Structure 1
Amino acid sequence: MSFTVRAITLDLDDTLWPFAPIGARIDQVLHDWMLEHSPATAAMYPVAAMRELRERSFREHPHLHHDLSALRRLTLREALEASGASLDLLEPAYEAFYAARNQVEYYPDALDGLARIAARVPVAALSNGNADLERVGIAHLFAFQLGAREHGAAKPQASIFHAACARLGCGHGEVLHVGDHIEMDVAGAARAGLRSCWINREDRTWQHEEIVPDLQFTTLTALADWLDAHMPDRPTAPTAAAGAPARADNRDHAT
């Protein structure tokens, strides 16, 4: 399949790096932090109990599903209050979480593939998650970062895809969205009128009755190879709309 790609929007969690190791590390980092700064909270909410509290907060506040940072703060606040700890610990505890959240281990192909892709077309990070590309250290490879929190709605809502296209200065059909999630990334992008690319690292079988991805690869290297083969010359780069790059504070995982 061949079509024009003037820009790319790219998911982060489970596309550039696996999220599961991050989530496990966050749980342990927060518990260790509580052991040091609020032992009563650590005793009342060991790792499993804190995870249950976070999952309950997610269920009880669907209006905040686009803002996982707010949900994290709600969880920490409830844990501190229930254990009789000072709420002065809330922001330091959140900072301990957020530092751990931005420590990522890339898939082996991710950085080289991303660099090759970014050298060919503008790339915008489009995520429901709360990774901060400045902290992660790869913001220089992106035109900008747009998170669900800043936009006010999460993938698969069409509006977040359209907002990214507008900032890129491209028509919807000129942008290729790349991600791992069948519904939030591929189906969401397709319904919004974008081209879609499924990064299927686990060689899963496509399961969607109405939509199929325009492209499917197991690595970003393969996508970079496709761009090299189908776009030998870089197209005229669109100009992103004016404004400071957005910093995402959220993802498809309840962090």
Structure 2
Amino acid sequence: MPSDLVKGAATDDAANGQDQPTSSPASSPQIRAITFDLDDTLWSCTPIIVSALSALREFLTSRYPSITQTYTLEAMRAVEKRVKGERPALVHDMTASKRAMLRECAIGAGYEHQCDQIADEAIEVFLAHRNAVEHHLFEGCTDLLHRCQALGLRIGTVTNGNADPERIPFLQPFVSVHVCAAHVNASKPSPLPFLRACELLECHPSQVLHVGDSIENDVVPARQVGMRTVYIPYPRDSGSGDGVKNGDGSGQQCAPDYVFGTLTSFCEGLQGIVQGA
């Protein structure tokens, strides 16, 4: 890891959106850092979640069978939805909400005296498989991260989910800052995760390039805070429109600065973007 991973748990001021940079650097600022969305940007998320839920069910069936006998997967999802409705503090914390669901299901299945132990064990099983992403990386992912390092860019990640670079060995040498929705009690498309990432990267937003697969959750909020943006749609395109630059985006908060079809094509174009900033 380039340095100890800094996670984005915010101060009260930051959580209230009061840590925004107050002045811009000179025009055409140099890009000094890059942030990535994770799921469906660096890897395909669906097979990972399917595998994690399957592993969770297998663990519960083998150790605490009354839970899976009492609750189908759909029923467990309904419990999690109810728990979030009853405890708004969990809405932006996918790990805490899933742990709370597991605790409720343990109680409902007759394991009330072991409910905390079961929830702790089960969430660890889920997270281990949730962060086993290596076999689902999009082509060009590792080459892109190496290119970022070679260009001297600090690397951060901004996600709504519970993928965690500390639990993902291949990411550890690259990522120095990680912000998830739980850290700032706000999910994308809120601007707060992006502002927190820029703060931790010690960069003005205009010096940071954000890369993501969603116009709504990545491009729009990143542009709103002044970051430059790269849009790589998911599912992946064959590459038509690679490198298209959409002007300065004035009055076009939905328009990314650059569009690429794949991580590989973005990797090939990254040096030109950084040097041309």
- TM-score norm. by structure 2 comes to 0.75
Deviation at 1:12, TM superposition (A): 0.6
- Listed as ranges, the matches of 1:68-107 within 5 Å are 68-85=94-111, 86-87=114-115, 88-104=117-133, 105-107=136-138
Is the counterpart of residue 119 in structure 1 residue 162 in structure 2? no
1:180 aligns with 2:213: yes
Determine the structure 2 residue equivalent to 1:167: 200
- Code of the aligned partner of 1:164: A
1:33–1:180 distance in 2 versus 1, CA, 3 Å: same
Taking the aligned partners of 1:17 and 1:79, their CA distance within structure 2 comes to 31
Q: Are 1:201 and 1:219, in contact at CA under 8 Å, matched by a contact in 2?
A: no
Task: Report the CA distance between 1:179 and its aligned residue.
Answer: 0.7
Residue in structure 1 matched with residue 265 of structure 2 by the alignment:
222
Q: Which moved more, 1:52-61 or 1:186-195?
A: 52-61
Q: Which runs of 5+ in 1 are unaligned?
A: 236-255
Give 2:180's aligned residue.
Answer: 147
TM-aligned CA deviation for residue 100 of structure 1? 1.1
1:15 matched to 2:15? The reply is: no
The CA deviation string for residues 67-112 of structure 1, in whole angstroms up to 9 with x for no partner, is: 1111111110111111111212111111111111111121122122
Q: CA deviation at 1:7?
A: 1.1
Gaps of 5+ in 2: 1-27, 238-251
Any conservation in 1 of the 2:139–2:263 contact (CA below 8 Å)? no
Q: Supply the distance in 1 between the matched residues of 2:66 and 2:92 (Cα, whole angstroms).
A: 31
SS of equivalent residue, structure 2 residue 173: helix
Q: In structure 2, give the amino acid aligned to 1:189.
A: A
Tell me the CA shift for residue 32 of structure 1: 0.6
- The Cα shift of 1:27 comes to 1.6
Q: CA RMSD in A?
A: 2.4
The number of residue pairs the alignment matches comes to: 230
Residue type matched to 1:96 in 2? Answer: V
Distance, in Å, in 2 between the alignment partners of 1:54 and 1:161 is 27
Indicate how the Cα distance of structure 1 residues 231 and 211 shifts in structure 2: closer, same or farther if over 3 A, else same: closer
Once residues 86 and 264 of structure 2 are traced to their aligned partners in structure 1, the CA distance between those partners, rounded to angstroms, is 40
User: 1:230 and 1:30 mapped to 2: Cα distance?
Assistant: 43
1:109 corresponds to 2:152: no
Counterpart of 2:57 in structure 1 is 31
Distance verdict in 2 for CA 1:55–1:108, change over 3 Å: farther
CA distance in 2, matches of 1:192, 1:133: 24
Q: For the residues of structure 1 that align with 2:150 and 2:88, how far apart are their CA atoms? A: 38
Note if 1:40 corresponds to 2:83.
no
* Mapped pair 1:5 → 2:31: yes
Please tell me the residue identity of whatever aligns with 1:223. F
In the TM superposition, residue 154 of structure 1 has moved relative to its aligned partner by 2.2
Report which stretch shifted further, 57-66 or 157-166: 57-66
Distance in 2, Cα, partners of 1:58 & 1:199: 31
Q: Check if 1:195 corresponds to 2:228.
A: yes
Which fold has the larger relative contact order, with Cα–Cα distance below 8 Å and residues 6 or more apart in sequence? Answer: 1
